[in-house]
Amino acid sequence: MKNIVLVGFMGTGKTTIAKALARKLDMEYVSTDRLIEEKERATISEIFSKKGEKYFRKTEKDIIKDASCMENIVLDAGGGVVIDPENIECLKKKGIVISLWAEPEVILERTKKYTNRPLLNVEDPLARIKELLAERKPFYDRADYHVNTSRASKEELTRAIERMTRDA
């Protein structure tokens, strides 16, 4: 079976669904954000604030190259991975890329309690969410499959993705 790669904006359920899929399919769960934090010995927020987004994206690209060589994994890819087209092409070599998406208001509800979301630490987070979703839509559209996570349960989403990837 190919790797399963979940991409999507923050708050769309990538981590929750990736962990559930990995358990259900007896695959290893891997998080690009966790790999970056381990490599840098700093949180994502700290990397953004101390070294900037450009540095973070370069580190993320290196991590994507490493992760794309792994086998039998469910990869929880950071929300901005799709910005670099090379990342998606790299991930598609051994994996099926599934874009998770949700309505902006759902994303805001899911993320508002977290202070470690550097891109949403702004005066109007809903407007920022809509702006970033619009900017990233063409990149998310490059995924093999698209799944709306706004209203479905974790179990429903896990079953749906399992069906999509079964024959891959």
Domain ranges (residues) in the chain: 3-165
Task: Name the strand (E) or helix (H) holding 75.
Answer: strand 73-76
Q: What is the pLDDT of residue 133?
A: 93
Kindly report the backbone phi and psi dihedral angles of residue 97, in degrees, each rounded to the nearest multiple of 5, phi listed first.
Answer: -95, 125
**Taking the C-alpha atoms of 155, 160, 165 and 166 in order, what is their torsion angle to the nearest 10 degrees?**
80
Radius of gyration of the chain (CA): 15
User: Each residue of 94-111: pLDDT tens digit?
Assistant: 999 999 999 999 999 988
Average pLDDT, the chain: 92
CATH superfamily of domain region 3-165: P-loop containing nucleotide triphosphate hydrolases (3.40.50.300)
Q: Is the pLDDT of residue 70 over 70?
A: yes
Longest distance between any two alpha carbons in the chain, whole Å: 45
Q: What is the pLDDT of residue 4?
A: 97
Q: Is the pLDDT of residue 58 over 90?
A: yes
CA separation for the pair 65, 88 (Å, rounded): 10
Q: What is the pLDDT of residue 89?
A: 93
The arithmetic mean of pLDDT across residues 78-96, rounded, is 91
Reported as a pLDDT band with limits 50, 70 and 90, residue 166 is confident
CA separation for the pair 99, 23 (Å, rounded): 20
Q: Is the pLDDT of residue 20 over 80?
A: yes
The arithmetic mean of pLDDT across residues 145-161, rounded, is 96
The β-bridge partners of 140 are none
